[in-house]
Amino acid sequence: MMLTVTLNAALDLTYRVPALVPHTTHRVTEVIERPGGKGVNVARVLAALGHEVTVTGFAGGDTGRILRERLADEPRVTVAFAPVAGTTRRTLAVADAATGDTTQLNEPGPAVTSAEWAAFLGSYEELVRRPGTTAVALCGSLPPGVPVGAYALLVRAARAAHVPVLLDTSGEPLRRAVAARPDIIKPNAEELAELTGSHEPARATRDARRRGAHSVVASLGADGLLALTPDGGWQARPPAPVRGNPTGAGDSAVAGLLSGLAEGLPWPDRLARALALSAATVAAPAAGEFDRATYEDLLPRVTVTGRPAAA
């Protein structure tokens, strides 16, 4: 069983319009509403790959209730959100059919009290120590009130339980958590540059490892994924660009990496899976799902170059 943590979960709304034109009225052709937040998206993709997964984090108010109810209907997903007095946020994606581009609007999360944070931390430690927990993904932003060092605490708790942990966040929460030595971090190019001060990806991944991350997998957009690990370094490249909604593409990459870790796949295979899932998510209608036909088509055509570390 894998565990995903989404401290700032959301209810995702996707509006499709023929063309997005500023300062005009739009007729929406389709509305998609589903549970969201980075770790929730990761969990849904893991479940679609056949893995049992527990989702936790915070959920509150009517939006949080809808979030729980929708996730409870997902096969192979167990819901373990901690309650908060505030209301879970919503995110709005406006998908432009004419260009294939998407405009994203994200609400702030609910304010979390110190008592609510302490209660969550206790339940998280129980979940991560539960027999059968094989890996943990810590994903996304921190809602107001959660300490900036929260992910560092969660990384240390997972490592104390001897459970591998993947971290996907940014800014100061990432900076502090890297020092707690997560097994994998998955920043994008901008987040990696912010962490290290270097805009050269190869140099930045080396610096991120020196700061404490065991393995670094950087998302480089159209250039694919760059990985530097104790086992070696590789770059995975897609066979061709995929147009569509990029929301959740990075989350699907996390699911690919986490499932590959749990299954004991070698790094090149993990990276190929992660990149194919990411691209197949761009082709899907909403975040947290992937187009299986696109995934199966792309997976054998992902190019992975690099070499293992010297023995």
Give me the active site residues, please. 251
Please answer whether residues 153 and 165 qualify as being in contact, where contact means their C-beta atoms are separated by less than 8 angstroms.
Answer: no
Which amino acid, one-letter code, is at 120? F
Alpha carbon distances (Å) from 32 to 69, 71, 128, 134, 286: 16, 15, 32, 32, 7
| Whole-number Å distance between alpha carbons of 145 and 178 | 21
Please answer whether residues 160 and 224 qualify as being in contact, where contact means their C-beta atoms are separated by less than 8 angstroms.
Answer: no
DSSP-derived secondary structure letter, 188:
B
Please answer whether residues 64 and 274 qualify as being in contact, where contact means their C-beta atoms are separated by less than 8 angstroms.
Answer: no
Please answer whether residues 92 and 13 qualify as being in contact, where contact means their C-beta atoms are separated by less than 8 angstroms.
Answer: yes
DSSP-assigned states of every residue in 280-295:
HHHTSSSTT---HHHH
| Whole-number Å distance between alpha carbons of 290 and 288 | 7
Sign of the C-alpha dihedral computed for residues 250, 254, 255 and 259 taken in this order: positive
| Whole-number Å distance between alpha carbons of 274 and 201 | 18
Count other Cβ atoms within 10 Å, centred on residue 213.
27
DSSP-derived secondary structure letter, 29:
S
